[in-house]
Chains A and B, each alone.
Chain A
Amino acid sequence: MKNKTHDHTELAQKLAEYDVDVPDIPRKKSRWSRLVHYLASPAENPVGFLAPARPSFSMTSVIPVLASAAVPVAALLF
């Protein structure tokens, strides 16, 4: 970083705290790794608006429980 002590000394010192670790960057670009990165990168949930805002019972969580409980009950009855 440039030594700009003649102006804005304290600001230059603050900015110097922002260092960056440079990763190993292969010279040649791998299309495959780009695709993998794109597919694996975190994205917003497209149906996030359907998720309940606070913890609650939803049909998707209740139905499997009811269905699995119904099997032994049906076996006992019939």
Chain B
Amino acid sequence: MNQPEAVMEAWQLGNEEAFEQIYTAFHGPLYSFIYRYTRDEPFSVDIVQDTFLRLQTNKHQYDPSKGALKSYLFQIAYRLMINKLNRRKKWRSLLPFLVPSQESSLHPAEKLTVQQAVSELPDLQRAVILLYYYHDLPQKEIAAILHIPLGTVKSRLHQAIQTLKTHLEVEDL
């Protein structure tokens, strides 16, 4: 596959097949990020679909000189997710019984520990650790995606690593 930015440019110029390539390349990583953040499958599917819908409606707004397509898509997905979670929080406070209950699925003990450790991190630390470890994103791009200063990314990453090492009983402190 060509560079994602080149494919995006082709799509902007009218090549509709290019969108298929973009979707194939990024729907998995986006889903994984949202799912690890929320542990809610239908919600994650919804956000992935909304992200590509947003990309389609604003396809000419993307400027490759401002950043990688991957960061751009993660930025859209993260903002959609946070907005939706905030809305859900508001509904939860107004009508607590209408909010879907959290279901815990069974996994091997080791995996559950890793999942729990990640999901118990504070929101921002969780987002930083997911983007850094699972999505190969440099700290500068993480700062752009989460709309926070680079220094905050560094400090949250450090805190998250220390917390995870403690929870997962990793000894190379």
Contacts and interface: CB of A to CB of B under 8 A. Distances in A.
Interface string B137-165: 00000000000000000000000010011
Contacts of A42: 100-101, 103
B134 A15 contact: yes
Contacts of A4: 133
A25 B168 CA distance: 32
A20 B48 contact: no
Given A15-B114, A29-B46, A10 B99 contact: no
Given A11-B161, A15-B129, 14 more contacts: A1-B133, A1-B134, A8-B161, A9-B172, A10-B171, A11-B170, A15-B134, A18-B36, A29-B46, A41-B42, A43-B97, A43-B101, A44-B97, A44-B99
A27 B16 CA distance: 14
B99 A22 contact: no
A18 B53 CA distance: 28
A14 B103 CA distance: 24
Interface of B: 23, 27-28, 31-32, 35-36, 41-42, 45-46, 48-50, 52-53, 96-101, 103, 110-111, 114-115, 118, 129, 132-136, 161, 164-165, 168, 170-172
B31 A14 contact: no
Given A14-B170, A17-B114, A29-B50, A22 B133 contact: no
* Secondary structure dominating the interface of A: loop
Contact of B28 (A8, A9, A22, A28): A22
Chain A interface size, as a band, is: 20 to 34
Contacts of A2: 132-136
Contacts, number: 85
Contacts of B100: 41-43
B46 A34 contact: yes
B53 to A, nearest CB: 7
A8 B57 CA distance: 41
Given A22-B27, A25-B31, A27-B52, A1 B136 contact: yes
Interface string A26-55: 111100001001000111111000000000
